[in-house]
Structure 1
């Protein structure tokens, strides 16, 4: 979108710094993918269509971020309706409800939300295993472990992937500590996180000591590792 500016530039009115491109590039590199192009798409439907068609022609997988919600300039959705077979547009999950998956021939198109956390969580849960499978990797999925939370968990009406730090306690149990406010726009909730705690949909708050499955994104911490997580 035209509202994005490079890191280091001062955003003007209605502008924001581009964080998704760089965080997704790092995630792609870690997943073993080769990136052939990265850049901004314009807020013009015809020009953006041409950019997408060029990328589709040269790529096995096309990944976009933003433009899949309900705004007047969310152009990815109508363009994909014209040029691709759209398999789904939304997911019953939090964060990351707007999420398009489409195909053009053998090219896969994943359209992630624009919110930074939503984009990275969607990448971890869906894109990373898909990319690993396409590479024929021996290890496709991240490890999943059973953890005890040390804080109150408040479920939502959708399955939720909450960012957390998982460490061994003094009795060698795996304990998960929240990284703070879990808003989808709060990129800081991913800083220091080594896990996504999977919280099923529900209506009742769950006390500390409750157990959940967690998807590990990084090494487990030791009980005396108290790096700031907020």
Structure 2
């Protein structure tokens, strides 16, 4: 990328994100919670298995357990049935030259080294005849999945449903996790009214408040809802002080530019410190980071799609790192562009797109309506964001990077 590809004085998205992540200070507060309450929480310590999984050799199939030495070299035999072993029972040692009826998940009896699946057998209550037995077949050895003492999950992991199942499988009932981050949300603007109120001329409904609260709740944070803040210096200062007293981080939409009615910048400067960055990102451009009474502050733009994109690309990784998460980067997948953007991008653009399979079975990204920063409906129509890289053009059929919404929102 040459210097002509970027508007002068703008940070790249990567530079802005690096600054934010370097400034993030992970929380140190830990609490112990039951496994049933741990979904989405961040592990504060490595978790080691206190047991082997499985705890003993067990059968992978319904069939018969036996010694392979009791078979012919081709794996054939007729043997008396000496015991029946359902799952959940403790077997007796296998009698010599006999077989045990065994079921999936049941412990293999001492002395047995093979399980023949029932489809290869003919049997009654007293004897079984089979062919095709193979040594060690259909036996899941002790510790095959997890060995006692092994690290099951590492510190910093955001717990998923499958993680909870894994922890349960080794008998862990309680977990040390980082305390939920408290994030204060305030929306600035005299033009804003709440849904349900009468919309008068010159006003708009406050969509940013509900979107930001939803984004934070989906990530597992606790929200401090400050509400709408008037375009007034005193009101802005009081709202920021309230947010700083009640939250671990403050998130605002609007009011961080340099206009006469943008009071957030001056108030944050007065109450702490503020860096206002101009970032080569579209939608969006102004991004503020600073502190109010030592509480971190992030100021996002005011247009709703700009709020959504800048939150997903910059604020989300910062907040997750502050929460203690070790992996804050969203998944990116290559897809085929089903559109053209012939002009070289002066700012790295995040295009709302939906995925449609093409006639070759490949995922093809098509634009989800207008890409204006005020058209929030295109976010709802899309499946994710296509990255239009800084300094590049896109032709239909090019490979582009796609950020799926589920990986940006949860």
Identify the TM-score tier after normalising by the shorter chain. Answer: 0.7 to 0.9
TM-score (norm: length of structure 1): 0.87
- Shift in Å, 1:99: 1.4
Q: Which residue number corresponds to residue 56 of structure 1?
A: 244
What SS does the corresponding residue of 2:227 show, helix, strand or coil? Answer: coil
Q: Residue 299 of structure 2 aligns to a residue in which SS?
A: strand
Residue of structure 1 in register with 2:376 after alignment: 187
Q: Secondary structure, in 3 states, of the residue corresponding to 1:218?
A: helix
Greater CA radius of gyration, 1 or 2?
A: 2
Cα deviation for residue 136 of structure 1 reads 2.3
Structure 2 residue runs of 5 or longer lacking an equivalent are 1-188
Structure 1 residues without counterparts, runs of 5 or longer: 220-230
Does the 8 Å CA contact 1:162/1:198 hold for their aligned counterparts? yes
Residues 137 and 29 of structure 1: is their aligned pair in 2 closer, same or farther, counting only changes over 3 Å? same
Alpha-carbon offset, residue 171 of structure 1: 3.2
1:37 aligned residue? 225
Q: CA deviation at 1:69?
A: 2.1
Q: Is the 8 A contact 2:226 2:239 kept in 1?
A: no
Deviation at 1:149, TM superposition (A): 0.8
Report the TM-score, using the length of structure 2 for normalisation.
0.50
d(CA) in 1 for partners of 2:251 and 2:330? 20
Displaced runs of 4 or more, over 3 A: 167-172
Give the equivalent residue in structure 1 for 2:341: 153
Q: Provide the residue aligned with 1:202 in structure 2.
A: 391
Kindly tell me: are residues 171 and 138 of structure 1, through their superposed partners in 2, closer, same or farther at Cα, counting changes over 3 Å? farther
Which residue in 1 is equivalent to 2:363?
Answer: 174
Q: Distance in 1 between matches of 2:328 and 2:281?
A: 21
| Preserved CA contact (<8 Å) 2:383 2:405 | yes
**1:173-223 deviations in Å (ceiling 9; x for gaps):** 2221101211111111211222111112337x532101211222138xxxx
CA RMSD in angstroms comes to 1.9
Work out the CA distance in 1 between the residues paired with 2:291 and 2:357: 42
Question: In structure 1, the residue corresponding to 2:226 is in which secondary structure?
Answer: coil
Aligned residues: 218
